[in-house]
């Protein structure tokens, strides 16, 4: 699958958001918890959600790293945690409560699921339900900006859910390169407030 240019990515995001699709148990719509979450009652409900799932006193970064690195078999089945560009939205499907945590002002979380044979559509990464193909595999990751400057260069082990989480500078436009077992994928990325947090188009060939 060839990489999708940025303008088409945004058009795709808008189209999927409008149609409220749910594909492969991954987030395709941008959540909007609304004003109730800002009231005293909403804040109490949010605190209860965090406490119920052992996430109390964690900020968005802490919750993301805790849930995304958790073995799939141990992930809570009633919690949906959607990584949005500017906030983390946690929904307790059992009780119907919602908690929101602001994302870091200077960092953007991009979840990448490199693949060889199978993938799925995804716009906003779901920490408890998204599944990729290469869980447990070792990959080499390089991120460069549009000027060719290296932003990140690491060897990583893909999480049990088949994703690798990258904390990147906000408002970056550049290229992500992934290498695995002699195969390579190169895809454009961007980390603005309107960009996607889930990348499933990194086809290793």
Distance CA 115, CA 118 (A): 6
Average pLDDT over residues 135-143: 98
Q: Provide the pLDDT for residue 94.
A: 86
What is the mean predicted confidence (pLDDT) over 141-170? 98
**Residue 9 scores a pLDDT above 60:** no
Q: What is the overall mean pLDDT for the chain?
A: 86
Q: Is a pLDDT exceeding 70 seen at residue 104?
A: yes
Looking at residues 87-91, what average pLDDT do you find?
95
Asked if the model's pLDDT at residue 7 lies above 90, the reply is no
Does 14 score more than 80 pLDDT? no
CB 161 within 8 A of CB 133: no
Highest-scoring range by mean pLDDT, 16-30, 35-49, 147-161: 147-161
d(CA 38, CA 40): 7
Tokens of 127: 């920490």
Distance, CA of 180 to CA of 178 (rounded, Å): 7
Q: How much is the pLDDT for 46?
A: 78
**Confidence check: pLDDT of 197 > 70:** yes
> Between 30 and 79, whose confidence is greater?
79
Q: Is the pLDDT of residue 98 over 70?
A: yes
pLDDT value, residue 109? 98
- Number of Cβ atoms within 10 Å of the Cβ of 75: 17
Which residue is it, tokens 């953007």? 108
Mean pLDDT of 104-132: 97
Domain boundary assignment for the chain: 1-205
27 phi-psi bin (left φ>0, alpha ψ -120 to 50, beta other): beta
Q: 1 pLDDT exceeds 70?
A: no
Backbone angles phi, psi at 69, to 5 degrees: -95, 0
Instruction: State both tokens at 152.
Output: 């990140």
Counting residues of the chain whose pLDDT is more than 70, the rounded percentage is: 80
The pLDDT of residue 35 is 47
End-to-end CA distance of the chain: 10
Query: What CATH fold (topology level) applies to the domain 1-205?
Result: Immunoglobulin-like (2.60.40)
Q: What's the pLDDT score for residue 2?
A: 46
């Amino acid at each position: 699958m060839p990489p999708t240019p940025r303008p088409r990515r945004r058009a795709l995001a808008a189209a999927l958001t409008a149609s409220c699709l749910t594909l492969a148990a991954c987030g395709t719509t941008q959540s909007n918890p609304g004003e109730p979450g800002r009231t005293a009652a909403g804040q109490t409900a949010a605190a209860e959600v965090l406490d119920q799932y052992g996430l109390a006193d964690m900020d968005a970064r802490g919750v993301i790293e805790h849930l995304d690195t958790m073995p799939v078999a141990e992930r809570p089945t009633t919690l949906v945690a959607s990584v949005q560009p500017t906030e983390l939205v946690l929904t307790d499907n059992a009780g119907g409560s919602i908690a929101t945590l602001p994302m870091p002002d200077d960092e953007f979380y991009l979840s990448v699921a490199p693949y060889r044979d199978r993938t799925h559509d995804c716009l906003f990464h779901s920490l408890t339900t998204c599944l990729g193909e290469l869980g447990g595999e070792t990959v080499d990751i390089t991120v460069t900006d549009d000027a060719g400057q290296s932003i990140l260069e690491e060897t990583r082990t893909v999480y049990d859910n088949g994703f690798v989480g990258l904390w990147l500078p906000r408002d970056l436009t550049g290229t992500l390169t992934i290498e695995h077992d002699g195969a390579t994928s190169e895809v454009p990325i961007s980390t603005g407030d309107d960009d996607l947090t889930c990348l499933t188009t990194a086809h290793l060939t």
